[in-house]
Amino acid sequence: MLAQLRPAIVLMLLFTLLLGLAYPLAITGIGQAAFPAQANGSRIERDGVLIGSSLIGQNFAGAGYFHPRPSAADYNAASSGASNLGPTSMALRNAIVERSAALALDMPVPADAVTTSGSGLDPHISPAFARTQVARIATARALPPEQVAALLAATIEHPVLGLIGEPQVNVLRLNLALDAMAPPAS
């Protein structure tokens, strides 16, 4: 019994040094050297200002921007979170009713438009949800709807080889492209 104590303690400490410090620090060193953009959080800057991360959703409420999905975390990227509401939750049902009413669409509502994501930071929306927003944005920015629709079509990310992944729209990238095309009326 006591003979087993020494290897238990010594190996635990050695593994802590090797796996807990040497391994992550080595990966940090190599990662920072080889893939600095990704290793530092895929930053997006505009005019020298950090706008956000291309991987992390952020909130948009203005009429002139494409809106992201509802978020249970309020797009707080320092504290991710989900609603965790179950399938028979009355709170979830009521929320969907409210969100659908706010969208006021004369067609079936895209599911991602009225549900919260797993992370609360979903950077994407479905192309269907994006299309429902084209008319609003065209009006707010005084642009022809065709021009906004064309920008959207160019921004949709399709599955690689038609197979890998889902059709999706990165909301932040799309809104940046929108600003580049027609600066927001201030």
Partner 1 sequence: MTWQGWLQIAAVLLAVLVIIKPLGLYMARVFAGDRTPLSPVLAPVETGFYRLAGVDPRREQGWFAYAIGVLAFSLAGFLLLYAMLRLQAYLPFNPQGFGALAPDLAFNTAASFVTNTNWQAYGGETTMSHFSQMAGLTVQNFVSGATGIAVAIAVTRAFARSGVKELGNFWVDLTRATLYVLLPMAIIVALAFVALGLPQTLDGAMAATTLEGASQTIALGPVASQEAIKQLGTNGGGFFNVNAAHPFENPNAFSNYLNIFSMLSISAALVYAFGQIVGSRRQAWALLSAMAILLVTGIGIVYWAETAGNPIHLALGVDPALGNMEGKEVRFGQAMTALYAGVTTGISNGGVNAMMSSLTPLGGLVPMFLMQLGEILPGGVGSGLYAMLVFSILAVFIAGLMVGRTPELLGKKIEAREIKLAMLAVLLLPTAILGFSSVAAMLPAGLAGLASAGPHGLSEILYAYTSAAANNGSAFGGLSANSPWYNTTLGLAMLAGRFAYIVPVLAIAGALATKPRVAPSSGTFPTHGPLFVGLLIGIILILGGLQFFPALALGPILEHVLMLAGQTF
Q: Kindly state the smallest distance separating residue 2's Cβ from partner 1, in Å.
A: 10
Which positions from 67 through 86 interact with partner 1, judged by CB under 8 A? 69, 75-86
Residue 182's Cβ-count burial label (10 Å; 0-12, 13-18, 19+) is middle
61 contacts partner 1 (rule: CB under 8 A): yes
Which positions from 124 through 143 interact with partner 1, judged by CB under 8 A? 124-126, 128
Beta carbons of 66 and 178 less than 8 angstroms apart? yes
Amino acid in the structure at residue 159: P
Q: Kindly state the smallest distance separating residue 34's Cβ from partner 1, in Å.
A: 7
66 contacts partner 1 (rule: CB under 8 A): no
In sequence order, what are the residues at sequence separation of 6 or more whose Cβ sits closer than 8 angstroms to the Cβ of residue 128? 110
When binding is defined by CB under 8 A, the residue of 138, 140, 149, 176 that contacts partner 1 is 176
DSSP state of 18: I
Q: Nearer Cβ to partner 1, position 146 or 159? A: 159
